[in-house]
Amino acid sequence: MRLKAIVAGVGMTHFGKHMDTGFKALGAEAVTAALADAGMGQEDLEAAWVGNAAAGLVTGQECIRGQVILRSLGLGRIPVVNVENACASASTALNQAAAMVSAGMYDIVLALGVEKLYHPDKKKSFAAFSGAVDVEAMAAIMETLQKGAAQGGAKSASSGAGEKRSMFMDIYAAMARAHMAQYGTTAEQFAMVSAKNSFHGSMNPRAQFREAMTVEEVLAAPMIAEPLTRPMCSPIGDGAAAVVLVSEKKARELGIAKPVTVVSSVLMSGWDHGLEEEGSAEACARAAYEEAGIGPEDLSVVECHDASAPAEVAACESLGLCAKGEGGKLVEAGTTRLGGRIPVNTSGGLLRKGHPVGATGIAQIVELTEQIQGRSGKRQVEGATIGLAHNGGGNIGVDAAAMCVTILKG
């Protein structure tokens, strides 16, 4: 289906540590901001899709997560669909909301992503990530990660996964070591990703971390899992992001001055394949480009799932921004920095903006919408007209469990 949903308004909270702000309050703040941006009231909404990944584990809220948030605003009656799809929960919510608008089922809908990960017991927070793999295969996964780390001389990565850090950092570290061995990518190039995103994030008032870092500072930071130092790993966080979508007919009625259209949104799950074969990110990107009628050369700005610095390197390759194995050189050349040919993660990305997992996918849409509408202040990409969001989550075998690529056009 060719999508025809229009972004009428966007809103999000500051991402970070909100120990004194509840799950409901975070979601309500983002919804209120998106409705205000759209110039609408909550009575205008006809349906809502609410993405969340870990509230059950961290806060104990199960089953009716979207309903409790919206009811706190006094909003009931409308259908509310709760979406859980690992780190791709919010992008999946947006995908489904856009599809229903495009199908003519509704004229005005809400897509919301919300997450609260900080908890006094850090093991609870890390458990949210440990559950995003095949838990029946957990022992084998941990053994493989530890064996690979030991064989590669990675002392920090040999223990502590899932207890002192998210086990996904060990998965990304193993991926990084393999990329370095096969393509000659360096730790300095991974550090360049973090430094670039810290520069972008320093200009984003909603980012979790606002301090700009040099490559040297990134490399000198505490080691988490070789070769990843702390700034090369996305933090846990709390936050919410929301989008109001409308039909083309409603957009005309409202007279939206700078319409941003969801021209493609492709959602897939991973599958079993060889390490050198196409995976979910490549397949999603190819399908999204085809649906939108564009290629990677047409993009103005990209928000990709940089849950770690090497993840951004891999994403740039998967999205066709460079050839396989050239992601490290791409960032080293300055191509993905503001002012470069294709700026990536102008928000600061997950590394600096933060990664409240169930909110991340829609936060990317907020950034791209504001870029296309020229509302991004000091981090504005000049003449931005087309943006791509790449958001994946979970891991099974050699692929993400869920992957979504969305393209917006002004």
Following DSSP, what letter does each residue of 179-196 receive, concatenated? HHHHH---HHHHHHHHHH
> Which amino acids are annotated catalytic?
87, 355
The residue range of the domain holding 53 is: 5-120+237-262
User: What confidence category does residue 208 fall into, taking pLDDT thresholds of 50, 70 and 90?
Assistant: very high
Q: 68, exposed or middle or buried, with CB in 10 Å at 0-12, 13-18, 19+?
A: middle
175 and 311 housed in the same domain:
yes
CA angle at residue 234 from 230 to 235, to 5 degrees? 85
197 and 315 housed in the same domain:
yes
Cβ atoms of residues 10 and 370 within 8 Å: yes
**Which residues have C-beta within 8 Å of that of residue 55, sequence separation ≥ 6?**
23, 61, 62, 65, 115, 116, 358
Write down the pLDDT at residue 314: 98
114 and 216 housed in the same domain:
no
Q: How far apart are CA 238 and CA 90, in angstroms?
A: 14
pTM: 0.96
Dihedral (C-alpha) 89, 92, 93, 96: value to the nearest 10 degrees? -160
305 and 387 housed in the same domain:
yes
Task: Report the chain's mean pLDDT, rounded to a whole number.
Answer: 94
**Domain termination residue (choose one: 203, 227, 262):** 262
243 and 224 housed in the same domain:
no
Which region holds residue 14: left if phi is over 0, alpha if psi is between -120 and 50, else beta?
A: beta
Write down the pLDDT at residue 199: 98
227 and 318 housed in the same domain:
yes
88 and 161 housed in the same domain:
no
Q: pLDDT tens, 233-289?
A: 999 999 999 999 999 999 999 999 889 999 999 999 999 999 889 999 999 999 999
Write down the pLDDT at residue 149: 72
Our count of domains for the chain comes to 2
- Residue 81 belongs to domain with CATH number: 3.40.47.10
Average pLDDT over residues 3-9: 93
